[in-house]
Amino acid sequence: MVERVTQAFLQAYGKQPTRLFAAPGRVNLIGEHTDYNDGFVLPCAIDYETIVAISSRDDERMLVLACDAGNAEDSFDPGTVFVAQPEEWKNHVRGVAASFRERGHELAGANVAIAGNVPRGAGLSSSASLGVALATAFAEMNTLAHLTPTDFALIAQQSENDFVGCACGIMDQLVSARAMAGSALLIDCRSLDARPVAISSDVAVLIVHSGIERGLVDSAYNERRFQCQNAAKHYGVAALRDLDMEQMEAYRGNLDALSYRRARHVVAENARTLDAAEALSSGNIDRLSTLMAASHASMRDDFEITTPEIDGLVAMMGDHLGASGGARMTGGGFGGCVVALVARDKLDGLKMLVHERYRTPDGNRPRMFQCTASSGSSRIA
Rounded Cα–Cα distance for residues 283 and 367 (Å): 27
Distances (CA, A) of 319 to 32, 229, 297: 22, 36, 14
Confidence (pLDDT) at 371: 95
DSSP 3-state assignment of 91? helix
172 among known catalytic residues: yes
Q: Which of 360, 356, 275 is nearest to 320 (CA)?
A: 356
- Give the CA angle between residues 319, 322, 325 to the nearest 5°: 110
Catalytic residue, chosen from 35, 38, 68, 172, is: 172
Other beta carbons less than 10 A from residue 118's beta carbon: 23
Percent of the chain topping pLDDT 70: 99
Confidence (pLDDT) at 217: 61
> Domains, the chain, ranges and CATH?
2-31+40-198+375-379 (3.30.230.10), 203-371 (3.30.70.890)
Q: Collect the ranges in the chain with pLDDT lower than 70.
A: 214-217
Confidence (pLDDT) at 238: 98
- What pLDDT, in 10s, does the model give residues 157-190? 999 999 998 878 899 999 999 999 999 999 999 9
- What pLDDT, in 10s, does the model give residues 11-32? 999 999 999 999 999 999 999 9
DSSP 3-state assignment of 56? strand
Rounded Cα–Cα distance for residues 251 and 262 (Å): 15
Rounded Cα–Cα distance for residues 349 and 14 (Å): 49
pTM here is 0.94
Confidence (pLDDT) at 215: 56
Confidence (pLDDT) at 221: 82
Other beta carbons less than 10 A from residue 216's beta carbon: 10
Rounded Cα–Cα distance for residues 104 and 99 (Å): 9
